[in-house]
Structure formats: C-alpha cells, structure tokens
Copies of this chain bind each other. A is one copy, B any other.
C-alpha cells in the first residue's frame, strides 16, 4: 500500500466491472486518472530514480584510451566522449536527469570538428595538457585544473597540438535540454578556425582582470564571457580562504572548508543559466555538515584522498574519481588528506524556478 491511496469501501462486483470499463475507455481516449498515479507523481519528498554512484578514473581513462585506438573522431559522431550513465536512469547516457558528464579523449594531433548547439557545456581538466579548445574562433589552452566554458550556441572545436593524447571531463545540460525540447545544433568547420596556441585566450585577456570590465563589454550576457578559469587563480583563492581562516577572519564556508563558485563577471551569477560550477578544498580531517538540496551534482576529485558519504553510504575516492549525488540525497564530504574537489550541478535551474530548497544539519 503506497503512501497516497484512495480510502474507500471496496467496490461491488458490478462497480468493479464499470470501473474496469472506465479505465479501458480512459486508455482509448489518452486519459489517465490522477488517483492511481499520485503516490509516484507527487511524492512526500523527491525520490530520484538516479542513484548515487562512483565512476573510477582508473577505469575511465583506460577505456577512453581503447576508444581512442578504435573509434575515429570527426564529423558525424563529433566527439570521442564517453558518458556516465546513471544506473538508475534506465540506460540513458545521463549522469542525473538534467546533467551529462563524460570523459572526452583526443589523440595526438587529432581535431574534433567545430559545431554549436543550444546545450551549455564546460570542460574540466584533472590531468594532462596539449589541447586547445577554440570557442567562436578564440583558442583556449586546456591544462590541469582549468575550468573551461562553451556556453550555448558558441561554435567550438578542439585540437591536440602534441603527440600525446589528452583526456578531460565534459559537463553539459544535454538531458535537460533534450527533455525540454529546446535543442538546436549546427555544424561548423571541419578543422578549428584558429590553430594558434596562445597561453592565454582573448576572452581571458579581456575579462579575467579582477573587478575590471571592458567598456566595450557593458551589455550583460546570459553566460560568462570568460573562456577559461585558470587553476592558478582557483588554487590561490582557496589557499587564501584557508589562510584567512587561520588568521581568524571569516572567509571559508565552513570551518576548514574553502570553496569558490565560478561566476559570470557581467552579473556575479552562475557561469551558465543551467549549470553551477564550484571548487572545494577541505583541510585533512574535515567533515562537512550533512546536507540535502533540491538539484543534482557531480563531484570529481582533483587531488587528495577522502570520501563522499551519500544517503549513509561512504564512498572512498581519490584523484579523478567521479561521484553523482542525486537531488535531495543527504551528502557529506570527508577529507583524509587535503582534499580538492570540482563540483557541478543544476541548481541554477532550481533557483531560477523557485524550486530550490536546502537542508543543512545543525542549521534552521
């Protein structure tokens, strides 16, 4: 017996027969009663089909290499990307109902051709170098620790300048955009439109100057104009938060837990309308307060060892491992060593639609 169930006297045989006929007639007319569905449709609290799950970097990377040997990259398939398929989501290539997460692999001197799409995309580099992603003609170097943006409807391709392959993580809102029937796609050039390999992209030169906005860029944009958020800045920001905490000043989000959100400098808000991206650093031994929030997240360990506890189960993780935290799951981070994690999620969707809700143990 489900949580929500109609309480009424059992129908007579005749009533049951009429009811059966009614349900058949509903079916013929493409109608479905609420009263038989409400327990599943409208639960007491979110009951995601997506489950918490861990993908190991040690498994992912070798498989990506095998794909590199067997599967060409080019027009048609577009990208040699292998997506995390949440075991609860019925074999769809979805990390969570809204988010796509994949390892992408590009062999030496390979090019992933240019295209553009409504879907918002980013890349995060847990190790390696040598690839430039070219966004609307602006070549952006990809290096360890960098967070790189390709907001919706920007042309982009990747090319590997070196003899060595490189792999990284892609994050997109593919499932959400698919679900909402909002997807557009357009092919671009076969090779990237600019094959130069500058250290710093033009977008960074214009926009990554703290607190300084070019007068040529006074119109706000839906997504961040910064093509790359560099590791040196992220690392310094986190280090400074912990130093400030040491000096007795408010700076960290919890004791021993430094964290930054990647933001759009034209608004101070999330980098893209559907995706939040954050970076966490925990001191050894720190455990964050158990938290639930509406919206799903994917974590990737960048450095260090620790665990993610989700719904009471502890998952020990290390560099490169990816963990999915479904909506309203109770989660906590535990650091064994200094523990650096990249996180992305769909919380901007929830906030913009006023569906967000958060519960943090020990607060009101």
CB atoms of A212 and B233 under 8 A apart? yes
Inter-chain contacts of A250 with B (CB < 8 A): 216
Q: Once bound together, how far apart are the Cα atoms of A348 and B4, in whole Å?
A: 30
Inter-chain contacts of A60 with B (CB < 8 A): 29, 31
Q: Once bound together, how far apart are the Cα atoms of A250 and B260, in whole Å?
A: 30
Known contacts: A93-B32, A206-B244, A215-B253. The answer to whether A185 contacts B260 by CB under 8 A is: no
* Most chain B Cβ neighbours within 10 Å, of A102, A211, A252: A211
Copies in the assembly, this chain: 4
Contact of A70 among B18, B29, B42 (CB under 8 A): B18
Q: Once bound together, how far apart are the Cα atoms of A222 and B354, in whole Å?
A: 7
Identify which of A33-41, A161-169, A306-314, A333-341 touches chain B: A33-41
CB atoms of A26 and B82 under 8 A apart? yes
Known contacts: A31-B82, A181-B50. The answer to whether A212 contacts B259 by CB under 8 A is: no
- Please tell me if A13 contacts chain B, counting CB pairs below 8 Å: no
- Please tell me if A22 contacts chain B, counting CB pairs below 8 Å: yes
Contact of A32 among B7, B83, B212 (CB under 8 A): B83
CB atoms of B214 and A4 under 8 A apart? no
Known contacts: A31-B63, A215-B261, A260-B212. The answer to whether A206 contacts B251 by CB under 8 A is: yes
Give the distance to chain B from A357, nearest Cβ to Cβ, in Å. Answer: 7
CB atoms of A183 and B29 under 8 A apart? no
Q: Which residues of A contact B (CB under 8 A)?
A: 4-8, 11, 15, 18-19, 22, 25-26, 29-38, 41-48, 50, 53, 55, 59-60, 63, 66-67, 69-72, 74-87, 91-93, 97-98, 102, 117-119, 152, 174, 177-186, 202, 205-216, 218, 220, 222-224, 226, 229, 233-234, 236-237, 240-241, 243-244, 249-253, 259-268, 271, 273-274, 278, 294-296, 326-328, 346, 348-350, 352-355, 357
A–B pairs, 11, beta carbons within 8 Å: A6-B72, A30-B55, A33-B71, A38-B78, A44-B184, A45-B183, A181-B296, A181-B326, A211-B263, A216-B252, A348-B353
